[in-house]
């Protein structure tokens, strides 16, 4: 659920105009207009657009000449690209533990896992959240290692005015379909203040200009035009995401673990994540909500790392988070009723144990509530109605004018069956 389809319908006229304009140009034209906008947005001197965020990370490591025999510190809790880029250049990823409240790399673990072979850190700001990286940056300086900022998920976010994408020796972005700003064909970018590195990366994205081994990773014009167009709304969308996150925070904080809000943080809420008390409840909720999990296993547990060399700290925290985290839908085009429904399902499911929902329904339908025969009936609309209205205001339940109690009873039985089937 990314909302891009809804966004398209809202701005269809503008999209078609853009398409028409772009189709009349050479698609291999340079995309400096986009790179300039990214420089402005992040305050960097150089920006190089490429095909995707994974290439951006890979090129960052290549430009630093990181290779076999070198080690690179990274987190054990992120999207696979954060680590695979290290293996792509033949270096050894060293998986560090996270701080369990921020899900970001822990400084203690970084210090524990450091060795003389370490040449860089790949550090992602997860979910659009940002933590204070001052001490990690100082550590990098002291050890003379590069800080690669994986800002794939955090474009638009800032902490105390420090913008995501502005702090790495090299920083990287992604415009894949689930990001806060997506290209129509994905996309990525590298940001840096180092002219030489920017030049190397420009070559890498274009077959190394035949001077070195390179790749085909140019961003074509139309994609750049669409990203550029969408970037104009990044702030507006971020505010909308923040409004939704606030509702989740306020209405779910007594039921689940929400992420603490750091002072000075302008979160972009690329993802809104909660944590549940254990894996069983998390999995049940995931099924009921048809939600996603980011991420369900530590990176080192990916099958590919059975065959690829790595080093690893004890990462029990990462494992616990993988077992208990759940991503709730969030995007700027969600309706209020979709948001309410998600909140209500979580509340109902977690309160199911104390039977509040059943007791409330008994008030309207009487004690002989349960009837398995009714499960065969069709009642989609009322099914939703139960979730959206009835539980939202349990004290108001007796005043709801349920004209057709049989329908309501069918809906209740179906709803309850679904709830308990997934929570048993």
Ligand X SMILES: Cc1ncc(COP(=O)(O)O)c(C=O)c1O
Quickly list DSSP for 143-168: HT-EEEEE-TT-TT-EETTEETTSSS
Side-chain half-sphere exposure of 251, counting CA atoms within 13 A: 18
- Taking the C-alpha atoms of residue 158 and residue 399, their distance in angstroms, rounded to an integer, is 46
Instruction: Identify which range of 149-157, 218-226, 299-307, 395-403 contacts ligand X by CB under 6 A.
Output: 149-157
150: contact with ligand X by CB under 6 A: yes
Instruction: Identify which range of 90-98, 145-153, 260-268, 415-423 contacts ligand X by CB under 6 A.
Output: 145-153
| 136 class by beta-carbon count within 10 Å (0-12 exposed, 13-18 middle, 19+ buried) | buried
318: contact with ligand X by CB under 6 A: no
Instruction: Identify which range of 10-18, 36-44, 52-60, 344-352 contacts ligand X by CB under 6 A.
Output: 52-60
**Cβ closer to ligand X: 189 or 339?**
189
Least distance in Å: CB of 227 to ligand X?
Answer: 12
Using the rule CB under 6 A, which residue among 64, 77, 93, 124 binds ligand X? 124
**Cβ closer to ligand X: 94 or 347?**
94
Q: Which of residues 168-207 bind ligand X (CB under 6 A)?
A: 174, 176, 186, 188
**Cβ closer to ligand X: 78 or 158?**
78
**Are 8 and 18 a contacting pair, CB within 8 Å?**
no
Using the rule CB under 6 A, which residue among 152, 244, 285, 347 binds ligand X? 152
Partners of residue 336 on adjacent β-strands:
none
Write down the residue that tokens 């050894």 correspond to.
Answer: 92
- Taking the C-alpha atoms of residue 365 and residue 374, their distance in angstroms, rounded to an integer, is 14
Instruction: Identify which range of 26-34, 73-81, 203-211, 213-221 contacts ligand X by CB under 6 A.
Output: 73-81
332: contact with ligand X by CB under 6 A: no
74: contact with ligand X by CB under 6 A: no
**Cβ closer to ligand X: 109 or 172?**
172
**Cβ closer to ligand X: 174 or 300?**
174
158: contact with ligand X by CB under 6 A: no
153: contact with ligand X by CB under 6 A: yes
**Tokens matching residue 182:** 């997506």
Q: Which of residues 94-123 bind ligand X (CB under 6 A)?
A: none
| 92-96 sheet: strands from edge to edge | 46-50, 188-192, 170-174, 146-150, 118-124, 71-75, 92-96, 311-312
Least distance in Å: CB of 266 to ligand X?
Answer: 19
**Tokens matching residue 416:** 């309850």
**Reduced 3-state DSSP string for 262-300:** CCCEECCCCCEEEECCCHHHHHHHHHHHCCECCCCCCHH
Write down the residue that tokens 């659009």 correspond to.
Answer: 128
| Count of residues of this chain found to bind ligand X when the rule CB under 6 A is applied | 16
Which of these, 378, 371, 377, 381, lies nearest to 416 by C-alpha position? 371
78: contact with ligand X by CB under 6 A: yes
Count the Cβ atoms, other than its own, within 10 Å of residue 131.
20
81: contact with ligand X by CB under 6 A: yes
Write down the residue that tokens 């507006």 correspond to.
Answer: 236
**Are 323 and 107 a contacting pair, CB within 8 Å?**
no
Using the rule CB under 6 A, which residue among 77, 79, 103, 139 binds ligand X? 79
Least distance in Å: CB of 41 to ligand X?
Answer: 17
Note the residues at the interface with ligand X (CB under 6 A). Answer: 52-54, 57, 78-79, 81-82, 124, 150, 152-153, 174, 176, 186, 188
């Amino acid at each position: 659920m990314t909302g891009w389809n809804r966004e398209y319908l809202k701005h269809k006229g503008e999209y078609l105009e853009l398409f028409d304009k772009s189709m009349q140009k050479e698609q291999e034209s340079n995309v400096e207009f986009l790179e300039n906008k990214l420089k402005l947005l992040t305050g960097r001197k150089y920006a190089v657009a490429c095909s995707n965020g994974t290439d951006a990370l890979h090129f960052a490591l290549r430009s630093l000449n990181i290779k076999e025999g070198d080690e690179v510190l990274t987190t054990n809790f992120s999207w696979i690209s954060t680590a695979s880029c290290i293996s792509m250049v033949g270096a050894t990823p060293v998986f560090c533990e996270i701080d369990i409240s921020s899900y970001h790399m822990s400084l203690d673990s970084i210090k524990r896992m450091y060795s003389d072979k370490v040449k860089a850190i790949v550090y992602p700001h997860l979910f659009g959240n940002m933590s204070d990286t001052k001490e990690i940056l100082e550590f990098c300086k002291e050890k003379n290692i590069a800080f690669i900022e994986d800002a794939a998920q955090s474009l638009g976010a800032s902490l105390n005015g420090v913008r995501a994408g502005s702090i790495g020796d090299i920083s990287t972005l992604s415009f894949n379909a689930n990001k806060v700003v997506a290209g129509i064909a994905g996309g990525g970018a590298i940001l840096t203040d180092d002219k030489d590195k920017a030049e190397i990366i420009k070559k890498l994205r274009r077959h190394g200009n035949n001077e070195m081994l390179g790749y085909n990773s140019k961003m074509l014009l139309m994609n750049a035009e669409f990203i550029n167009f969408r970037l104009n709304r990044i702030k507006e969308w971020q505010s909308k995401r923040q409004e939704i996150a606030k509702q989740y925070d306020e209405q779910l904080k007594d039921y689940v673990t929400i992420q603490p809000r750091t002072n000075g943080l302008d979160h972009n809420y690329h993802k809104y994540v909660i944590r549940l008390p254990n894996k069983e409840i998390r999995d049940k909720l995931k099924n009921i909500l048809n939600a996603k999990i980011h991420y369900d296993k530590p990176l080192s547990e990916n099958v590919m790392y059975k065959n690829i060399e790595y080093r690893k700290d004890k990462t029990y925290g990462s494992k616990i988070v993988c077992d208990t985290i759940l991503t709730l839908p969030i995007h700027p085009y969600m309706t209020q009723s979709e948001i309410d429904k998600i909140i209500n399902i979580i509340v109902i499911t977690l309160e199911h144990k104390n039977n509040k929902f059943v007791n409330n329904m008994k008030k309207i339908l009487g004690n002989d509530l349960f009837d398995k025969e009714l499960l065969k009936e069709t009642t989609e609309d009322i099914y939703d109605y139960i979730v959206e209205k009835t539980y939202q205001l349990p004290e108001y339940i007796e005043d709801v004018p349920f004209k057709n109690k049989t329908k309501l009873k069918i809906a209740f039985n179906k709803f309850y069956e679904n709830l308990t089937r997934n929570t048993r």
